Amino acid sequence: MMRIFVSKDMASVALGADSLAEAFASAGCEVVRTGSRGLFAIEPLAEVETDEGRIAYGPVGPNDVSAVLDGSHPARIGRIEDHPFFSGQQRFTFARCGVTDPLSLSDYAAHGGWKGLETALGLSPQAVVDAVKASGLRGRGGAGFPTGIKWQTVLDAAADEKFIICNADEGDSGTFADRMLIEGDPFCLIEGMAIASHAVGASHGYIYIRSEYPSAIAAMREAIARSATKIAPFTLEVRVGAGTYVCGEETALLESIEGKRGEVRAKPPLPAVEGLFGRPTVINNVLSLAAVPFILAEGAQAYAEVGFGRSRGTMPVQIAGNVKNGGLYEIGFGVTLGELVNQIGGGTASGRPVRAVQVGGPLGAYFPPSMFHLPFDYEAFAEAGGLIGHAGITVFDDTVDMAHMARFAMEFCAVESCGKCTPCRIGSTRGTELIDRIVAKAPRAAGTLETLPQMRNARTAARSHEEEIDLLRDLCDTMKHGSLCALGGFTPYPVLSALDHFPEDFGSGHALTEAAE
Amino acid sequence: MMSTDERLAYMADQILRNFASRGQEAAIAATLDHIGQFWDPGMKSRAAAMPDAPGVVLSDGVRATFMRLRDSQPAS
Amino acid sequence: MTFTREKDFGTPEATGEAVSLTIDGQQVSVPAGTSIMRAAAMVETAIPKLCATDSLESFGSCRMCLVEIEGRKGYPASCTTPVASGMVVRTETDKLRKLRRGVMELYISDHPLDCLTCSANGDCELQDMAGAVGLRDVRFGFEGANHLEGCKDESNPYFTFDPAKCIVCSRCVRACDEVQGTLALTVDGRGFASKISASQGEGFLASECVSCGACVQACPTSALIENTVIEKGTPDRAVVTTCAYCGVGCTFRAEMRGEELVRMVPWKEGKANHGHSCVKGRFAWGYAQHRDRILNPMVRNSVDEPWREVSWDEAIVHVASEFRRIQNSYGTRAIGGITSSRCTNEETFLVQKLIRQGFGNNNVDTCARVCHSPTGYGLKTTFGTSAGTQDFDSVEQADVVLVIGANPTDGHPVFGSRLKKRLREGAKLIVIDPRRIDLVRSPHVEAAHHLPLRPGTNVALLTAMAHVIVTEGLVDETYVRERCDTEAYGEWAAFVSDPARSPEAIEELTGVPAADVCAAARLYATGGNGAIYYGLGVTEHSQGSSTVMAIANLAMATGNVGKPGAGVNPLRGQNNVQGSCDMGSFPHELPGYRHVSDSVARAQFEQDWGVTLDAEPGLRINNMLDAATDGTFKGIFIQGEDILQSDPNTTHVAAGLAAMECVVVQDLFLNETANYAHVFLPGSTFLEKDGTFTNAERRIQRVRKVMEPKNGYADWEVVQLVANAMGLGWTYTHPSQVMNEIARLTPTFAGVTYDVLDQRGSVQWPVNEAAPDGTPTMHIDHFVRGKGLFVVTDYVPTDERTGPRFPLLLTTGRILSQYNVGAQTRRTPNEAWHAEDRLEIHPHDAENRGIRDGDWVALRSRAGETTLRALITDRVAPGVVYTTFHHPDTQANVITTDFSDWATNCPEYKVTAVQVAPSNGPSDWQRRYRAQADQSRRIETAEPAE
């Protein structure tokens, strides 16, 4: 009987993987459902087990089954590892994703699973923390804080109870790596959390998954059930997100797990000192925790050897938007933005010129092609007025209106704001109103109230376009430095980068001031 | 409603019952002490007069207590 | 004292080791854990802030308080950033000014601009901050999205919520959570749509809100503001004084304009309340100006006649001559008096002095007779002092709290909030109460054990707990050996170990499963610091004194006396009930709890007062009434107590009063007792006099006069007038002189003077050479009586029995919004919450009798009958009914009986066998009483002179 591998990742299913799998089954094949390989252009993908290895065909549909089975189908890719999208990758974290049956313990073990945990259990907690420090692993959620140092704080905190929390509230548009890993290799995350629990002395962990990810929630729950004895006495449970973007902020996430309104907490105290229910808590992103088994299994050195500057190891980059080869690309830090967009991503899907790339989700900065030399590295991006964030990059062609994108950022902030801090709560609404005026080229005239004779201090002259732009910059400054968390604090990135790199979209340079008369 | 005499007898009986586990003799002594500390002279002399008054029905303990009270009262 | 706002340090005090840092070039040393904001405030650097206030944990939402710290990126909020050694902080830079102005510009773009007509004008933090940051232009304009259309919530009678003025700083929500612990307020919605809401948009009055005022106090704008400020304007001076409601003894700033009280604001320095309050102290002070107040003395020959207004002189002379006449006719002991636990220590002292010195007898009693007299007896017997062992702060160190026969969230709400805070922090709770009081389960608080015992079985239950502790070897043997009378302990241990006293043996009697009793006993004995708080559910029983001693036994056996976090703590009812007891209001005790037969103590007073004192105890209230019925007691002076409504078996009280020849009542209002009075002397309120109150934690606090007595005299002056009319020659010109006399004659008060109180704010007695700073925790190294005395507590059941005629047990109590007989609270908008007494009855009992919720029912006991409306609830167990006694129309005490505590005659209010039946209207008694009252209350106004 032929063995066929078809992904059951949510994205693959959306592209028709389920009917493809059924068709193979009807044809008498043994179908193994795996995670996704990560290149959407070749999905739905079928891999046929042969003596030369797994031969891939994609994209293929149910009607292509016989052609695939007899090897005659024109969409024959050959060995997936040899495909140019994959041959350049350094798959440390996503090594098993798309290869194994996600919920098969034997598959997991056969592909190097549990090796990291076994190594860790043979070490003292401090030695495990030291290994993570030596690997140079930094938080993959966006902040880039060294994971080993965070663990050290929790290890050093004396408490009757500690927790490990995995933040899988993946809310940035254009990002999907967390979901792909949870659906494609959940035991990897479990192993990473078990290693963390040993390292810091935690007895219980939570995986906080956003409610929009039903397949990931189901996969995770099943994987936890199947691996319970393997990680005992450590225990895990899934918490389903409260449906708001801000719950992905770690302190709001803590509030949410505690059953309260998902609202950001002021830091300090750090969650590592006073986290969930006031106990020391490790909160890490899915990708940070999933990187840990490799580090323990292969050694910190193996991980740290790859990378650029202070950014060590690999980053699963998610390429999306108007791009030919959208998907997940895991590679060591240092690859340039241009390589990611043009070589790996293959340029725009529309074939038009690239105008802007947003890096780091909806709150990341927009970069013009003139900045494509930037190496993918936390420090380099920060210096250029941007951030890597969760490593989602979204490509836009030359039809994009950047003022509209800036407005979208403010609106996104207004919709997702928890309402706790003033710059975000009021500022995002004012920002939306302000950009509307700027785009409409209608600077604000004095309002009814301001023109009343009682209002001696109010300015009666209308504002100029430049004054409105200045106000937008001031507002961005207040939000960036004044906001309590990254939602309000990062919203200025897309706004200011759009304003800085694409001033023409904001009407600047044009004679708009006559409206002010 | 109880008469004042009935009430005094009731009060003494209630005090006696609360000291009962000490035994009858000690309970009477404790009750006498309590009455000495907390009852006004008028109440004491009324109580002291009750054992000798015709027609008054008292429990044994209360009678014994009030008799002791009578004997300890200064001759007026 | 002129009006200044209390200084706000922004964040709570910290207690760590000293840390040095530099703020704006100034070297500062503060405890570790202090926020930068607080550290700055300590050196008079006011960092702008809106969401921070020092009564609440820091929150960090307004982003006004950003600072720069050398070596750190960004602009951290000073409220949420703790100090660190060597830190260099700058609070004012160009960048910070710009950021703060930017935030303020956002606030004001969504705020009404009518500051001059705003009720918070001049007392608004938003206004202050706009000034501080130099806001000159709101570049966003005023026509963007806003919240200016929000409707005001005027449902609460005391304060108004205007959402348009709200800046969503969450101070109100946090105050409700952290300070009050009710969690009635939330932030509804998210982002720009966030708004404050009472219990999911119900409006304040209909919500869970208990109207404690914490939110109003916390609000930095006029979003939540007192209606009195809206009506009268902001105050211009403040006087710190002490609340005249319950025994918690909250101190307040009485904020005034001229002689008019604008609002009462809890004082942050107050050691009992630390800046918190309840609906009564905070808001329900309007009775002081109520039109029902009687302001002129009145006299009549018989209670059938209408009252005749007379001059003070005539009234005083009449009282003195009547009392002397009675004494001449019926003997020295034919008159007596009752001191008031609402009045000051000085006034109480003077009333008992009037009786002991002037009447020449010991016929003085006080309302403690009917509430905490068993506490006096029980704690004096076991520990040696008639008072609680701890201060309220002690609860912060308690690990296990046992609440028995008390309902702190209603009866002692400010302490209730502090207790809940400790419980939310993790202390364990045991509740012993027939009713499922709020503490048993409320947001974030749940009792580990609730033992819903049958009323009247306290002693059996506590003895069973002792049985578990002794037989399971949980006794703190070292403590008992070193601190207690071991012989008495041996007898007690043998007594409680008897299998007849095991939880299993008494299960049927108490109705509490044995396993629960065992678990509660083990928790109390082994859970760390164990603190017991109790109330009238302990004392108001025929075994009240035994129950107090059973509690003391438990505490001693587990080593829980003499340290913070533990102890035996009576929650005393009235504001000055502790003080009135301290001041010698009992017929057997001179001030300082010294027996009248103690010749040494008596000699001290005799020398000071120049008279010979009676060495025999006087009459208790109930004995006075008996003696009156017998014709041997003929005159009484009752200051500030309404015995007709508050004392048990109203019929008996009425008969006693009716038999007297001269009943003198001094009160604010024509109370129920005054229906039987011959002389009425108008009283003054706590706002109208100087003096001191002593709260449940023995804390002596000043009462300060903020306005002249509307009736012409403070109560102490009236007592002095009577005394002098009787020839005593008193010459006090200020209550401080009375306190000096108290200190001179009372060893536990030896170090108390008004100067000391003004300097220290308050002190807890004993204050003397051995303890010049007072005594927060008593019995630390040894008990006041020497060795702690274990007392065998036989369970002697009440003689009040249920049976076919009276199958239910009535227990009584009070609720948050009303106070005692309601004389004060019924004359305030507190009526909005509790306009009538209701009978709580279990659904099963109601069903059996065909009673529906809200029906009128007749409540009958062997003593009498009344009617009221039913409230069907499972808070009471089947077989138990409950009501309050706040309303004279109900007269719940018509139902209660003459049964009382064996040792102190404290009435058995908590156990009355009753029957409940549907009813159509008032009972015969109610009708007769109403007619009598109507007739008795007529006032014939004096002819105007000329």
Domain boundaries, chain C: 1-92, 316-368+576-727, 373-570, 808-935
> Over the range A444-481, which residues count as b (16 or more CB within 10 Å of their CB) and which as e?
bebbeebeeeebeebeeeebbbeebbebbebbbbbbbb
Q: Per the domain annotation, does B32 fall within a domain?
A: yes
Cis check: omega of the bond before C766, within 30 degrees of 0 = yes
Tell me the shortest Cα–Cα distance from A194 to chain C, in angstroms. Answer: 29
- The pLDDT, as a whole number, for residue C887 is 83
**Whole-number Å distance between alpha carbons of C719 and A48:** 107
3-state class of A39 per DSSP?
strand
**Whole-number Å distance between alpha carbons of A327 and A37:** 9
Q: Is C619 on the interface with B (CB under 8 A)?
A: yes
* Region C316-368+576-727: CATH code: 3.40.50.740
Q: Does residue A377 share a domain with residue A230?
A: no
With a cut of 80, say whether residue A247 has pLDDT above it: no
With a cut of 80, say whether residue A402 has pLDDT above it: yes
Radius of gyration of chain B measured on its C-alpha atoms: 11
C191–A416 CB contact, under 8 Å = yes
Domain end among A55, A87, A119: A87
Identify the domain containing residue B11 by its residue range.
4-70
B4–C362 CB contact, under 8 Å = no
3-state class of C190 per DSSP?
coil
CATH of the domain at A219: 3.40.50.11540
Tokens at residue C900, please? 């009382």
Identify the domain containing residue A442 by its residue range.
402-516
With a cut of 90, say whether residue A431 has pLDDT above it: yes
Q: Chains B, C in contact: 3+ Cβ pairs under 8 A?
A: yes
Contacts of C170 (CB under 8 A, 6+ apart): A420, C51, C59, C61, C187, C196
Of B2, B14, B40, the CB nearest to C616: B40
Nearest CA in chain B to C361: B40
- The pLDDT, as a whole number, for residue A512 is 36
With a cut of 50, say whether residue A107 has pLDDT above it: yes
With a cut of 80, say whether residue A74 has pLDDT above it: yes
pLDDT confidence band for A58 (50 / 70 / 90): confident
Q: At what angle do helices A147-156 and A125-135 cross, to 10 degrees?
A: 160
Q: Does residue A73 share a domain with residue A160?
A: no
- The pLDDT, as a whole number, for residue C658 is 95
C794–B1 CB contact, under 8 Å = no
Task: Tell me the per-residue pLDDT of B10-29, one tens digit each, with 9 for 90 and over.
Answer: 999 999 999 998 899 999 99
Interface of C with B in 569-608 (CB under 8 A): 587-588, 595, 597
- Of A252, A219, A256, the C-alpha closest to A240 is A256
Task: Tell me the per-residue pLDDT of C766-815, one tens digit each, with 9 for 90 and over.
Answer: 999 989 999 999 999 999 999 999 999 999 999 998 899 999 999 988 88
pLDDT confidence band for A261 (50 / 70 / 90): confident
Q: Per the domain annotation, does B75 fall within a domain?
A: no
Tokens at residue A495, please? 């706004």
**Whole-number Å distance between alpha carbons of B42 and A57:** 114
- The pLDDT, as a whole number, for residue C886 is 84
Radius of gyration of chain A measured on its C-alpha atoms: 25
Q: How many domains does chain B have?
A: 1
Specify the CATH number for C808-935; select among 3.30.2350.10, 3.10.450.50, 2.40.40.20, 3.90.180.10: 2.40.40.20
Q: Does residue A26 share a domain with residue A74?
A: yes
Q: At what angle do helices A186-200 and A214-231 cross, to 10 degrees?
A: 50
More confident residue, A76 or A263: A76
> Over the range C802-834, which residues count as b (16 or more CB within 10 Å of their CB) and which as e?
beeebebbbbbbbbbbbbbbbbbbbbbbbbebb
For testing contact with chain A, the best of C103, C117, C169 (most A CBs within 10 A): C103
Q: Per the domain annotation, does A96 fall within a domain?
A: no
Q: Per the domain annotation, does A115 fall within a domain?
A: yes
CB C362 within 8 A of CB C616: yes
Tell me the shortest Cα–Cα distance from A281 to chain C, in angstroms. Answer: 19
Task: Tell me the per-residue pLDDT of A163-179, one tens digit each, with 9 for 90 and over.
Answer: 999 999 988 888 899 99
Q: Per the domain annotation, does A95 fall within a domain?
A: no
Q: Does residue A233 share a domain with residue A197?
A: yes
- The pLDDT, as a whole number, for residue C336 is 97
Computed from CA positions of residues C917, C918, C922, C928, in that sequence, does the dihedral angle turn out positive or negative? negative
How confident is the model over A464-475, as a mean pLDDT?
96
**Whole-number Å distance between alpha carbons of C357 and C350:** 10
Look up tokens 């290994």; give the residue: A131
Interface of C with B in 919-938 (CB under 8 A): none
pLDDT confidence band for B73 (50 / 70 / 90): confident
Share of chain A above pLDDT 90, in %: 86
- The pLDDT, as a whole number, for residue C942 is 60
Q: Does residue A389 share a domain with residue A333?
A: yes
Q: Does residue A320 share a domain with residue A281?
A: no
How confident is the model over A211-224, as a mean pLDDT?
95
Average pLDDT, chain B: 90
pLDDT along chain C (946 residues), means of 10: 78 95 96 96 96 95 96 94 96 96 97 94 95 95 94 95 96 95 92 89 89 96 96 94 95 94 95 95 94 96 93 97 97 96 96 97 93 93 94 96 95 95 94 94 92 94 97 96 95 96 96 96 97 94 96 97 96 92 95 95 96 95 94 96 87 93 96 95 96 96 96 96 96 97 95 95 93 94 94 92 92 85 88 90 94 93 91 92 86 85 91 92 84 89 59
Whether the pTM exceeds 0.80: the reply is yes
Q: Does residue A416 share a domain with residue A346?
A: no
Residue C388 to residues C342, C533, C551, C692, C697, Cα–Cα distance (Å): 19, 9, 12, 19, 6
CATH topology of domain C1-92: Ubiquitin-like (UB roll) (3.10.20)
- The pLDDT, as a whole number, for residue C667 is 96
C chain contacts of residue B19, beta-carbon cutoff 8 Å: 794
CB C618 within 8 A of CB C336: yes
Straight-line distance from the first to the last Cα atom of chain A, in angstroms, rounded to the nearest whole number: 81
Share of chain A above pLDDT 70, in %: 98
- The pLDDT, as a whole number, for residue A220 is 97
With a cut of 80, say whether residue A237 has pLDDT above it: yes
Maximum separation of any 2 CA atoms in chain A, in Å: 90
Q: Does residue A60 share a domain with residue A111?
A: no
Domain end among A304, A328, A349: A304
CATH topology of domain C373-570: Dimethylsulfoxide Reductase; domain 2 (3.40.228)
- The pLDDT, as a whole number, for residue A516 is 35
Q: Per the domain annotation, does A97 fall within a domain?
A: no
Of C106, C139, C170, the CB nearest to A426: C106
Q: Does residue A232 share a domain with residue A143?
A: yes
Intrachain domains C1-92 and C373-570 with the same fold:
no
**SS percent in chain A: helix, strand, coil, step 5:** 45, 15, 40
Q: Is C902 on the interface with B (CB under 8 A)?
A: yes
Q: How many domains does chain A have?
A: 4
**Whole-number Å distance between alpha carbons of C368 and C126:** 48
B22–C617 CB contact, under 8 Å = no
How confident is the model over A228-233, as a mean pLDDT?
95
Q: Does residue A440 share a domain with residue A470?
A: yes
- The pLDDT, as a whole number, for residue C104 is 97
pLDDT confidence band for A492 (50 / 70 / 90): very high
Residue A415 to residues A168, C164, C176, C436, C579, Cα–Cα distance (Å): 20, 21, 28, 44, 59
B chain contacts of residue C495, beta-carbon cutoff 8 Å: 21
CB C508 within 8 A of CB C498: no
- The pLDDT, as a whole number, for residue C898 is 86
Could you say which DSSP state residue C293 is in? -
**Whole-number Å distance between alpha carbons of A6 and A43:** 10
Structure ipTM? 0.88
C chain contacts of residue A471, beta-carbon cutoff 8 Å: 139-140
Facing residues of C253 across strands?
C240, C265
Tell me the shortest Cα–Cα distance from C74 to chain A, in angstroms. Answer: 6
CATH of the domain at A391: 3.10.20.600
Strands C428-432 and C400-404, sheet pairing: parallel
pLDDT confidence band for B1 (50 / 70 / 90): low
